[in-house]
Chain A
Amino acid sequence: MTDQLVFMLQLIITGIAVGGVYSLMALGFVLIYKASSVVNFGPGELVLFGAYVSWATILHMRFPLYVALPLTLVIAIALGLVIERGVLRPLIGQPIISVIMVTFGVASVIRGFLNMTWGSDTRPFPVLFSPEPFHLGPVPVSPVHLWSFVVVMALLAAFSVFFRFSLTGMAMRATADNQQVALSLGVSVKRVFALSWCIATVVSALGGIILGSVRGGVDFSLADLGLKVFPVVILGGLDSVPGAIIGGVLIGVLENLSGGYLDPIMGGGVKEVAPFVALVIILMLRPYGLFGKVEIERV
C-alpha cells in the first residue's frame, strides 16, 4: 500500500474509533430529545459526571470492578431522576430558551459540584483495557477504541429493538410524537420523561468511562467534548438513534481527515472547527440531517 493511502486509512480508522465515543454522547442527547423534546446543552457535564463517579468508585473507594461499574450506572440513574424531577418537570411548557438555559444551569452545577468534591486535578483513570494496540492491516487500533465502538454498536442494536418492539419503547415514541394523544391513550408521560433522562445519563456515564479509559485520566476538559455532540446530532438528525451513531462516526472521520490534511496547511486548529463548519453547511442544506424527522418550520 502506498504511504498516502496508509496515512488516509489511519486517519479514517482513528476517526471511526473516536467517533464511536461521540456517538455515545450523541445517543444520550438524542434519547432525551426524542422522548421529551428537551435539548440538553450540557452533555459534556453528564459524561464528566460518569467519568468522575467511576473513577471515584474504582480508585478512590476501591470497589472491585463488578461492583463499581454497576454502582456508577446506578448513581447515573439517580442523577437522571434528580434532574428530570427536580428541574425539568417544573419547566414543562416553558419556552425553549428557558429549557436550554436551565440545562446550562444544571451543567454548571454538576461541574461546580464535581470540582468541589474532587478538585480539578487530573486523576489517572483505572486501566480497564490493555494499552497494546492491535493491527487492522497497517493501522494500529487501541483496544479501548475498539471496545467503545463495540459498545456503541451493541447499544444501537439494543435501542433499535427497544424502541421498535417493547411496550415502553413504543410509549416513548408515542410521547415524542404527540404528548396529548399519548396521555389520552394511557401512557404515563411523566414516567417516559424520567426514563428518557435516566437512559441518557447512563449512556453518558458509559461514555465517560470509555473516554476516561481512552485518555488515561479524568479532568475537566472532558466536558468540552460535549459540545461536539451538536454537529453529530445535526448531521444524524436530532431525534434519530441510528443517526446519532452514524453521525458520530462521520464527524470523527471528518475531524481526523481535516486535521490530517488541512492542519499542516492552515497551521493547526482546523480539526476542532471542522465539525462546526460542517454543522453550518448541513443546517443550510438539510437541517433535519440524515435521518431526522422533517418538522422544522420555515419562514
Chain B
Amino acid sequence: MNCAYHPRTLFLLAGLLVASLGVVRAEAQPTIKLGNLVDLTGPTSDQGKDIAQGRTDAVQYFNERGGINGKKIELVSVEYGFQPPRAVAAYKKFVEDDKVLLVLGYGTPDTEALRPYISKDKMPYVSGSYSGHLTDPRQTPYNFPGGIDYTSQIRIFLNYVKETWTDTSRKPRVAFIFADNAYGRAPIEAGRQYAKEIGVDLVDEEVIPTVLTDATSQLLTMKKKDPDFAYINTNTQWVPVVLKDSYKLGLKVKYMVNNYGIDERTPKLAVEAAEGVMGIQDVAYWGENVPGMKTLMEFHQKHHPNDTHASPYMRGWLWVIMTVEAIKRAGPSPTGESVKKALESLKDFDTWGLTPPFTYTSEDHRPTNRARLVMIKDGKIVQMREVSVERDMKWIGK
C-alpha cells in the first residue's frame, strides 16, 4: 500500500484547522454595527475598491473622534462580486446574525431585488445605487439612494439636449446606450417618457452586456438612426470601450455619461476618444477645492499616502458622513425606524461640500436635484456648470 502521507498527520492538520476556526471574535463593548456590501472583484470593482476604502477610512475617522454618541462604529463587510445572490445571502446575515442597524448597500440589481425584504425588516438601506425605483417612500420607505438618482440624471441629459438644440427644422435625436442589468436599465423607461414629454426624438436604444469587450455592432446599428446625442448608462470600466469604438467608427454623436460612468480615470483610458464627452458629476473629484477635501486628504496622507483615489472614494466617505449624522440624530438607542426618521430629517445637510446639500423628506427620498455637468477637454475633466432638474413628484419611484 503506497501511502504518500501519514493519516496521523492528517488528523493533526484537521485539528489545527478546527482550532484556527475557533479564533472567535472577542466579546467587545456595544458598538454600532453597519452592514457593508462591496464589489471588489466583479464588473464594478474598480470603483468598488475606492468605495470600500472610503467607507473604511470614514468609519475609522469617526471612531477616532469617539464614534457616534460614545459608541464605536463597526463595519461588517461582505464582498459580493456584484452577484445578487451573494448580496442576498449577505443581507440575510446582516439582519439575522449581525443585527446591524443600517446597511451600506452597493449595486442596483441587488438593492432593487432586496426591496421587499428591506421594507419588511425596517432596515435603513443607504445604497450606492441611485436608481429612481428607490426614491418613493410609499414603495420603498427604508431605501435611501446616496446621490442624485439616475432618473433625474437622464432628465438632466434630455433637458441639456433640448436647451442646446438650435435647429428649428426638426427635433433633436437621441439614443440610449445602457448595460444589460438592473442598473443600466433603471432610468430608461422614465427616459423614454420624459423624452416624449419635452419633444426630443428617442431614435434608438442599444443594449450592451455588463462586461463589454466590443460595442462595434451596437454602434453601427445606432449609426443607422443617426442620433445627435447619446446617453451612456454603464460603469467607468466599460464606457471607454464604447467611446473608443465610436471614435474608430468616426461617429459624430455627442455623448453624455451618467455619474457612475465617468470619473478622473476615463480620459486616461479612452484618450482621444474621450475628447468632448460630457458627464454628470455627483460628488467631488479628488483634490477638488471643497471644505471636506482637506480632511480627506489629511487622512489619506496619514494612513495610506501611496494610494491614488478617484471620485468613488469620496462617495464612500459621503455615505458614512450622512449615516453618522442620522444615527447621531436618532439618539442614544437608535432603531431602524428612528434612523429612518432621522435620515428624513436631513434638510440641506452639508456633506462637507462633497456634494450639493442633501435633503430627504418623508415623501421624497431623492437627496438632491443638483449636479454638475463636466466635459473632458485636453485629457482632463473640466467642470462646465451646475445643472438641476425640478423636484417633480411625478418622477418619484420611476
Check if B269 sits within 8 Å of A219, measured CB to CB: no
Separation in Å of the A212 CB from the closest CB of chain B?
Answer: 12
Asked if B384 is an interface residue, CB under 8 A from chain A, the answer is no
Asked if A40 is an interface residue, CB under 8 A from chain B, the answer is no
Interface residues in B259-277 by Cβ distance below 8 A to A read 265, 268-273
Asked if A264 is an interface residue, CB under 8 A from chain B, the answer is yes
Chain A window 93-120, contacts with chain B (Cβ cutoff 8 Å), 1 for yes, 0 for no? 0000000000000000000000100011
Check if A263 sits within 8 Å of B218, measured CB to CB: yes
Separation in Å of the A137 CB from the closest CB of chain B?
Answer: 13
Q: Give Cα A275–Cα B250 distance, bound, in whole angstroms.
A: 27
Asked if A175 is an interface residue, CB under 8 A from chain B, the answer is no
B271: chain A residues within 8 A (beta carbon) = 127, 131, 216
Asked if B244 is an interface residue, CB under 8 A from chain A, the answer is yes
Q: Give Cα A220–Cα B232 distance, bound, in whole angstroms.
A: 22
Q: Which of B93-101, B139-147, B206-214 sits within the interface? A: B206-214
Chain B residue nearest in CB terms to A144: B248
Supply 12 A–B pairs (Cβ within 8 Å), ascending by A.
A10-B249, A120-B46, A131-B271, A131-B273, A220-B41, A221-B43, A222-B213, A224-B211, A224-B213, A259-B217, A263-B218, A271-B217
B126: chain A residues within 8 A (beta carbon) = none
Separation in Å of the B273 CB from the closest CB of chain A?
Answer: 7
Chain A window 134-178, contacts with chain B (Cβ cutoff 8 Å), 1 for yes, 0 for no? 000000111000000000000000000000000000000000000
Check if B217 sits within 8 Å of A260, measured CB to CB: yes
- Is the interface on chain B under 10, 10 to 19, 20 to 34, or 35 or more residues? 35 or more
Q: With A122-B46, A127-B271 given, is the CB distance from A256 to B207 under 8 Å? A: no
A219: chain B residues within 8 A (beta carbon) = 46, 237
Q: Give Cα A124–Cα B274 distance, bound, in whole angstroms.
A: 13
Q: Give Cα A200–Cα B220 distance, bound, in whole angstroms.
A: 34
Chain A residue nearest in CB terms to B241: A215
Interface residues in B204-228 by Cβ distance below 8 A to A read 206-209, 211-214, 216-218, 220-221, 224
Looking at the complex, which one of B236, B250, B270 makes contact with A216 (CB distance below 8 Å)? B270
Separation in Å of the A45 CB from the closest CB of chain B?
Answer: 15
Looking at the complex, which one of B221, B236, B240 makes contact with A263 (CB distance below 8 Å)? B221
Check if A269 sits within 8 Å of B207, measured CB to CB: yes
Check if B41 sits within 8 Å of A115, measured CB to CB: yes
Chain B residue nearest in CB terms to A14: B216
Chain B residue nearest in CB terms to A130: B272
Check if B217 sits within 8 Å of A14, measured CB to CB: yes
B119: chain A residues within 8 A (beta carbon) = none
Q: Give Cα A122–Cα B264 distance, bound, in whole angstroms.
A: 13
A264: chain B residues within 8 A (beta carbon) = 221
Check if A122 sits within 8 Å of B269, measured CB to CB: yes
Separation in Å of the B115 CB from the closest CB of chain A?
Answer: 25
Check if A225 sits within 8 Å of B213, measured CB to CB: yes
Check if A120 sits within 8 Å of B45, measured CB to CB: yes
Size of A's binding interface in residues, CB under 8 A: 38
Check if B247 sits within 8 Å of A131, measured CB to CB: yes
B244: chain A residues within 8 A (beta carbon) = 131, 215-216
Asked if B49 is an interface residue, CB under 8 A from chain A, the answer is yes
Check if B213 sits within 8 Å of A124, measured CB to CB: no
Separation in Å of the A220 CB from the closest CB of chain B?
Answer: 8
Separation in Å of the B45 CB from the closest CB of chain A?
Answer: 5
Looking at the complex, which one of A122, A133, A215 makes contact with B213 (CB distance below 8 Å)? A215
Asked if A7 is an interface residue, CB under 8 A from chain B, the answer is yes
B208: chain A residues within 8 A (beta carbon) = 268
Q: Give Cα A115–Cα B81 distance, bound, in whole angstroms.
A: 13
Chain A residue nearest in CB terms to B180: A268
Check if A122 sits within 8 Å of B211, measured CB to CB: no
A221: chain B residues within 8 A (beta carbon) = 43, 211-213
Asked if A121 is an interface residue, CB under 8 A from chain B, the answer is yes
Check if A133 sits within 8 Å of B46, measured CB to CB: no
Chain B residue nearest in CB terms to A257: B217
Chain A window 1-34, contacts with chain B (Cβ cutoff 8 Å), 1 for yes, 0 for no? 0010001001100100010000000000000000
Interface residues in B128-181 by Cβ distance below 8 A to A read 180
Looking at the complex, which one of A131, A222, A260 makes contact with B220 (CB distance below 8 Å)? A260
Q: Give Cα A216–Cα B266 distance, bound, in whole angstroms.
A: 11
Check if A121 sits within 8 Å of B45, measured CB to CB: yes
Q: With A115-B41, A122-B269, A269-B209 given, is the CB distance from A11 to B217 under 8 Å? A: yes
Q: With A11-B220, A133-B250, A269-B207 given, is the CB distance from A124 to B268 under 8 Å? A: yes
Q: With A133-B248, A215-B241, A216-B244 given, is the CB distance from A121 to B46 under 8 Å? A: yes
